């Protein structure tokens, strides 16, 4: 059996480098109309969760039904509310304070933001800023498997 890796990151690689090499390409792929996946594999304690989610970024959301909407609007500047439609079709508007990810004396430390929050921020910032996009549905799944 052979395996091929796009890239192997070292422990000294900052989150910005991970996003610039992987996240920006995933974002381009999504806006070209394709689905995208990121698969992180490695030994226990090697930094997969930290790389994907960051330090305290999205763990607090656990399995909330509207987690992706909460994450996205929390990370997207100048958005104060979000409309979340549940699987039953009901729509609710929720406040989304930008303070959810604030730390260290009220400042967001960019070194602590993982790949997933960076991608969500990039996707929703781009959607918000593109006048040609009027109605978009974003679906995502985050799965972490422990054995």
Which amino acids are annotated as binding site for ATP, given as ranges? Answer: 42-49
Do 92 and 140 touch, CB atoms closer than 8 A? no
Handedness of CA 37, 26, 144, 76 (dihedral sign): negative
Core vs surface per residue 94-129: b (16+ CB within 10 A) or e: eebeeebbeeeeeeeeeebbbbbbbbbbbbbbeeee
Nearest 5 degrees, angle CA 84-CA 85-CA 91? 85
71: enclosing H helix or E strand: helix 67-75
Backbone angles phi, psi at 72, to 5 degrees: -60, -45
Partners of 95 in beta bridges: 81
Q: Please give the annotated binding residues, written as ranges.
A: 42-49
């Amino acid at each position: 059996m052979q395996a091929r890796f796009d890239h192997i990151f070292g422990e000294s690689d900052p989150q910005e480098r991970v996003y610039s090499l992987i996240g920006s390409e995933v974002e381009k792929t999504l806006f070209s109309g394709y689905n995208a996946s990121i698969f992180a594999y490695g030994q226990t304690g090697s930094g997969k969760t930290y790389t994907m989610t960051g330090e305290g970024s999205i763990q607090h959301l656990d399995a909330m039904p509207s987690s992706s909407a909460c994450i996205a609007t929390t990370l997207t500047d100048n958005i104060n509310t979000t409309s979340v439609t549940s699987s039953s079709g009901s729509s609710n508007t929720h406040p989304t304070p930008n303070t959810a990810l604030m730390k260290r004396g009220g400042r967001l430390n960019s070194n602590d933001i993982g790949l997933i929050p960076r991608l969500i921020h990039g996707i929703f910032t781009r959607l918000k800023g593109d006048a040609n996009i009027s109605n978009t549905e974003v679906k995502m799944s985050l799965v972490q498997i422990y054995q």
